[in-house]
Amino acid sequence: MATLETAPAHEAEHEHAEHQHLGFWRQYVFSTDHKVIGIQYAVTGLLFLLFGFGLVTLMRWQLAYPGRALPWLGKLLGDTRMPGGAMLPEFYNQLGAMHGTIMVFMGVVPLAVGGFGNFVLPLQIGAPDMAFPKINMASYWSYFLGGMTMLASFFVPGGAAQSGWTSYAPLSVIAGQGQTMWLFGMIFLITSSLLGSINFIVTTIQLRANGLSFFRLPFFVWSQLVTSFLLLLAFPPLEAAGVMQLMDRLGGSSFFMPSGLVVSGQVAAYTGGGNPLLWQHLFWFLAHPEVYVLILPAFGIVSEVIANNTRKPLWGYKIMVYSLWFLGFMSFIVWAHHMFFTGMGTTMATFFQTTTMIISIPSVVILSALFLSLWGGSIRFNTPMLFALAFLPMFGIGGLTGLPLGLSAADIPLHDTYYVIGHFHYVVAPGTIFALFAGIYHWFPKATGRKMSERLGKLHFWPSLIFINGIFMPMFILGLAGVSRRLYDGGASYDFAKPVLHWNVFMSISAWGLALAQIPFIINFFMSIKRGEKVGQNPWEATTLEWAAPSPPPHGNFTTAPVAYRGPYEYSVPGHPTDFTPQFLSAQQQATS
């Protein structure tokens, strides 16, 4: 590879000195430093995850004990939501729609992409910052605005959006004001993602350190790169759809409104001529790639943690990279597997079933590679590794249960039941969320210079693993029994659901148990910032470039521009004195150290 001129080291110091003069606001709030922005993203994302979890704990009360008054919190929420402490169906629907929206768009994506991507990616490629620091800042603040708009929507008359996170028209078009807020909020979030993804792609392509050729990139960087492409190309259609839905709601147009609608016995004031399925196409054109946006960064994090803690190279790194790209590309042409029951004929269904089956193969390949990486390792069971290891079978269960959903005939009994809820929660909750926890425990020392407590970490891990399965495993039973999702009473109205409904109580108790199991984490997180064990630059004895920077890294990241001398996972190289050979040490440095 051609040698690249990078700025000499003294310039870095100059920048560093200049940085000292930045005031509090420029340094910590309106910062353009990728690390600060990453942390802002991560903390905001975590808070939203917590909030989204809060919403669902409320829902789980109603699902376990339909109609029963919730002791004191219920009254607190007021008469428009929980009169006398008993939940209204309107409010249940708001909670459901906002739980989905918040978890996906304001929790996981900002944490996985905005947080980890921003903090780790430039460090891992040896860059001083993102390619466009100001755009990076704009991306965070756009996200922040979007988040605030969504939160505010709970307080408009009629409450927040209540047409599901999918916002299917016509229901969403005739819904109350909360839906308008949802749309505006989404437009902010989409803008944020677009700005962010452009930044990630340019940064990865352009700011790689000397010697860091593409096939020396850590797998995490690859996963962020592909994720960014998905965001970049899949989000604009939802933006277009959002604009059209706004037009329908505010401008009286009929993009998604067919002719002849009669709502509550009144002929609806729409001229008609629109098509409700158009919304679904545009929504799923985003939302299917979006689910891979939720999982690919998780693959990336897990790969880093596994390579580091098995003390051996990832198995099949190149195949994993190719699979990743293939997965990314295919994810654009499988979306209609969410729409099998919208009146689809044989050829269309066959096409989308086939692409869906095809896309499962690269997932199998990546997962197999991660499983095989364990073989022959010298495995350290620290907290990040426990979360990463748990990710594998949990994602496996989620992914495998995607297969019957992907076959249209097998999907007939399963579509829109709790089986689907079970499927995707296995991939996003014990899957992605666990991977994110692994990432937090893994990179915390880099961000703060201190390790999180192992004891509290394990106290976080084991109960979380048990409870989370307690929530989601019974969902498959409910789903097979035919219980629909999004039911305010959890199915109590239906006789056929009666034999399985007792599980609802079990699931809810597990969910509250899971909530309690997060307390050690929250304590650990905040305590360790101040009191955690102090560590050096490379506490995990890792090989990738971020560990060449001081912990926490200063403004500009590296004291001298790092150079990559080898691939990312050179662990346990035969004949080498230590069991790790970092990318950033030259042969001479190795010899003298």
Partner 1 sequence: MMERWLPLNAAAHGARIDGALNWVHVLMAILFVGWILFFVIALWRFRRAKNPVASYTGVTSHTSTWIEIAVAFVEAILLVGLAVPLWAERVAKFPPEKDAVRVRLVGEQFAWNVHYPGPDGVFGRTSIDKIDVQTNPLGLDRSDPAAKDDVVTVNQLHLPVGKPVIVYLNSKDVIHSFNVPEFRIKQDAVPGITIPVWWVPTITTAQMRQRLGKPDFVYEIACAQLCGLGHYRMRGFVTVEEPAEFQKWMDEQVKAQASTGDDIFQ
Partner 2 sequence: MGDHADIDRQVRTYILVFVSLMALTIITVTISRFHLPVPAAVTVALIVACIKGGLVASYFMHLISERKLIYWVLGFTVACFFAVLLLPLWTHFDPILNH
Partner 3 sequence: MEIPFTVAERPDTGLNNGKIGIWLFLASEVMLFGALFASYLMLRIGATVWPRGDSILNVPLATVNTIVLISSSVTMVMAWASLKRNDFGKFRLFQGLTILAGLCFLGIKYVEYSAKFHHGLLPSKNTFLAIYFTLTGLHGLHVIGGMVVNGYLWGPGAKLWKTDPEHFTNRVENSGLFWHFVDLVWIFLFPVLYLL
Contacting residues toward partner 2, per CB under 8 A = 205, 229, 233-234, 237, 275, 277-278, 281-282, 285, 329, 332-333, 336, 342-348, 351
- Segment near partner 3 (CB under 8 A), from 126-134, 153-161, 172-180, 460-468? 126-134
Q: Evaluate whether 405 touches 419 at the Cβ level (below 8 Å).
A: yes
| Binders of ligand HEA in range 157-196 (CB under 6 A) | 164-166
Q: How far is the CB of 308 from partner 1 (least distance, A)?
A: 11
Q: What is the CA radius of gyration of the chain?
A: 24
288 binds, among partner 3, partner 2, Cu ion, none (CB under 5 to 8 A by kind): Cu ion
Q: Which of 34, 288, 312, 460 binds Cu ion (CB under 5 A)?
A: 288
- The string of DSSP codes covering 487-509 is -TTTTTT-GGGGGGTHHHHHHHH
Q: Does 460 bind ligand HEA (CB under 6 A)?
A: no
Nearest in space to 432 (alpha carbons), one of 380, 459, 392: 392
Among 171, 202, 333, 473, binds partner 1 (CB under 8 A): 171
Question: Which stretch, 68-76, 199-207, 384-392, 481-489, contacts partner 3 (CB under 8 A)?
Answer: 199-207
Contact between residue 467 and residue 514 where contact means Cβ atoms under 8 Å apart = yes
Which listed option, Cu ion, partner 3, ligand HEA, none, makes contact with residue 237 (CB within 5 to 8 Å by class)? partner 3
Residues in the chain, overall count = 593
Q: How far is the CB of 338 from Cu ion (least distance, A)?
A: 6
Residues 50 to 69: which contact ligand HEA by CB under 6 A? Answer: 50, 53, 56, 59-60
Distance of alpha carbon 455 from alpha carbon 520, whole angstroms: 9
Question: 489: number of CA atoms within 13 Å, CB side?
Answer: 10
Nearest distance from residue 458's CB to partner 1, in Å?
15
Query: Which range in 66-74, 287-295, 447-455, 485-493 contacts Cu ion by CB under 5 A?
Result: 287-295
Other Cβ atoms closer than 10 A to 252: 11
Q: Which of 170, 176, 274, 402 binds ligand HEA (CB under 6 A)?
A: 402
Cis peptide before 552 (omega within 30 of 0): yes
407 binds partner 1 (CB under 8 A): yes
Cα distances (Å, whole numbers) of residue 517 to 232, 286, 391, 468, 512: 36, 33, 17, 10, 9
Chain mean position to CA 126: 25
Q: Of 119, 102, 158, 96, which Cα lies nearest the Cα of 36? A: 119
Q: Which is nearer to partner 2, 224 or 504 (CB)?
A: 224
For residue 173, give the amino acid letter. V
Residue nearest to Cu ion (CB): 288
Measuring CA to CA, which residue among 181, 347, 356 is closest to residue 284?
A: 356
Segment lying near partner 1 (by CB under 8 A), choices 20-28, 141-149, 307-315, 454-462: 307-315
Q: Is residue 32 within the footprint of partner 1 (CB under 8 A)? A: no
User: Which is nearest to 146 in space by CA: 105, 100, 203, 96?
Assistant: 105
> Judged by CB under 8 A, does residue 239 bind partner 3?
yes
Asked if residue 305 lies in contact with residue 116, where contact means CB atoms within 8 angstroms, the answer is no
Q: Which of 99, 166, 73, 93 is nearest to 488 (CA)?
A: 93
**Which residue among 23, 71, 157, 260 contacts partner 1 (CB under 8 A)?**
260
Pairwise CA distance, residues 312 & 374, whole Å: 8
89 binds, among partner 1, partner 2, partner 3, none (CB under 5 to 8 A by kind): partner 1
Minimal distance, residue 255 CB to Cu ion, in Å? 23
From ligand HEA, partner 2, Cu ion, none, interface partner of 523 (C-beta below 5 to 8 A by class): none
Number of other CB atoms surrounding residue 95 within 10 Å: 26
Residues that bind ligand HEA (CB under 6 A): 43, 46-47, 49-50, 53, 56, 59-60, 96-97, 99-100, 103-104, 108, 164-166, 291, 294-295, 337-338, 356, 359-360, 363-364, 367, 393, 396-397, 399-400, 402-403, 405-406, 411, 415-416, 420-421, 423-425, 427-429, 432-433, 468, 471, 485-486, 511, 518, 521-522, 525
